[in-house]
Amino acid sequence: MKLTKGKIADLLNEPGCEHNHKKGQQGKNKACTQQAKPGAAQGGCAFDGASIALVPITDAAHLVHGPIACAGNSWGSRGSLSSDATTYKMGFTTDISENDIIFGGEKRLYKGISQIIKRYDPPAIFVYSTCVTALIGDDLDAVCEAATKKFETPIIPVNSPGFVGSKNLGNRLAGESLLDYVVGTAEPEYTTPYDINLIGEYNVAGEVWSVLPLFEKVGIRVLSKITGDATFEEIRYAHRAKLNVMICSKALINMGRKMEERYGIPYIEESFYGVEDMNRCLRNIAQKIGDEALQQRVETVIAEETAKLDIALAPYRARLKDKKMVLYTGGVKSWSVMSAAQDLGMKVVATSTKKSTEEDKAKIKKLLGKDGIALAKGNAKEILRVIAKTKADMLVAGGRNQYTALKARIPFLDINQERHTPYAGYVGLIEMAKEFDRALHSPIWQQVRQPAPWEKVASSPALKDSLP
């Protein structure tokens, strides 16, 4: 896949993305094309987005063609788990030097591919370009093509240097690599009328394992997972599914749309967080497949699971009722986690709208109500202001915001990819309730909210007079 201005423009103008529906209007594509400001955090580059989308393919090798700092420990920064192979946890990089920058790094890349195949023999290797190797002009496609012919192993170029755009664009570039080199290159042993693909689910903290038993129980077969806990082989035959279920709303929306165009597979967008969303997901899949017996089985399972859930959640709902939460995350989680919190009786008084589509924002507005605060932009100062204004009991956000919560002296819960607890499905809601309860009712908050000894002295004339 050659990376050209036209290819980038097509991905930024993705028809399936809500950001692009109001063509011709000012602000179109703003979320995809906004440039980083000096001194401000970008939130991830295109390379980061591509690796996030592809590294969870567990049995493949992932080779970063660039300086060692680009690789870092990126394979371990997300909690994407595997039920079998662990090759994806190996950190491979060409670690180019100053000489490679001057004379070119293509030979070094070819040698790196050769070493991986000889030592690990993976079913495929994904090769990622970076800013440096893209700027010096290394021909990633040519090297990968030559290596594929030589070693008879798929070597897949992922042209996603960080400077081309945001993390979201990198997700789509990863999707293009899958569409161009992987999907449609093999056939499954058999198919059923109930085959679906999960797209945009990365098995963070093992969340996909919370929903797979539900699908099996109602008779839905997950043919391919793209890409959480996936094998390379299962993605090759993903084109034989009857339905694509998009989980991380817009991350791989181009895959959903193009698979519909190429293979006639319709797609729907769903969430696994909260009772209502999980129920809606099962019902929508059954309705889209169009099988009455399947729809009846879905209703039976929903009744059974919600009855068990009500019993398990009763003590937590009593302790969490009316607790106020500020939710600061991105994309689909801005409203799906809010829905889950409301299932537990909590009140979300503010949430973010970053990386959210117009459809997401409509859901946020409905769930927040007239008094809720939608944060278009957020930093520590703004979050602290909102916490003080709403008198929130808790901050739920990404890991880097934990220090903001500590400054506000309120409990914090990590909701993003670094976490180690699954929140998806009915079982995940119980885990979420446990985490909320532990955080909110920890005795440490009574201690940290007490005034310091010097503050007591300053506020007490009697204590001041007693000092020598």
Instruction: Calculate the alpha carbon distances from 373 to 62, 96, 245, 406 in Å.
Output: 41, 47, 30, 21
Give the tens place of pLDDT for each residue, 138-172: 999 999 999 999 999 999 999 999 999 888 899 99
Give the tens place of pLDDT for each residue, 252-272: 889 999 999 999 999 999 989
Q: Predicted confidence band at 355 (pLDDT cuts at 50, 70, 90)?
A: low
The dihedrals phi and psi of 128, each to the nearest 5 degrees, come to -105, 125
Region of 322 please: left (phi>0), alpha (psi -120 to 50) or beta. left
The domain defined by 195-304 folds into Rossmann fold (3.40.50)
pTM: 0.86
Residue range 238-245: average pLDDT? 97
Q: How many CA atoms lie within 13 A of 308 on its CB side?
A: 10
- Predicted pLDDT of residue 44: 76
Residue range 355-373: average pLDDT? 77
- For residues 436 and 342, what is the distance between their CA atoms, to the nearest angstrom? 12
- Of residues 195 and 446, which shows the higher confidence score? 195
If we measure between CA atoms, which residue out of 237, 247, 174 comes closest to residue 207? 247
Among the listed ranges 193-202, 275-284, 306-315, 456-465, which one has the minimum average pLDDT value? 456-465
**Domains 195-304 and 314-448 in one fold:** yes
The domain defined by 5-17+41-181 folds into Rossmann fold (3.40.50)
Give the tens place of pLDDT for each residue, 282-321: 999 999 999 999 999 999 999 999 999 999 999 999 999 9
Residue 329 has pLDDT above 70, yes or no: yes
- Predicted pLDDT of residue 11: 72
Most confident stretch, 25-34, 314-323, 352-361, 368-377: 314-323
Q: What letters, b where the CB count within 10 A reaches 16 and e where it falls short, cover 82-110?
A: beebebbeebbbbbbeeebeeebbbebbb
* C-alpha R_g of the chain: 24
CATH of domain 314-448: 3.40.50.12380
Residue 467 has pLDDT above 70, yes or no: no
If we measure between CA atoms, which residue out of 173, 240, 227 comes closest to residue 200? 227
Q: How big is the CA angle at 71 (ends 66 and 77), to the nearest 5 degrees?
A: 160
Among the listed ranges 107-111, 264-268, 327-331, 431-435, which one has the minimum average pLDDT value? 327-331
Residue 187 has pLDDT above 80, yes or no: yes
Among the listed ranges 379-393, 430-444, 453-467, which one has the minimum average pLDDT value? 453-467
Residue type (1 letter), 467:
L
Q: Predicted confidence band at 384 (pLDDT cuts at 50, 70, 90)?
A: very high
Residue 41 has pLDDT above 70, yes or no: no
The dihedrals phi and psi of 187, each to the nearest 5 degrees, come to -120, 140
CB of 216 within 8 A of CB of 233?
no
Q: Give me the residues paired with residue 80 across strands.
A: 204
Domain boundaries, the chain: 5-17+41-181, 195-304, 314-448
SS3 call for 162: helix
Q: What are the structure tokens assigned to 354, written together?
A: 């970053």
- Predicted pLDDT of residue 193: 96
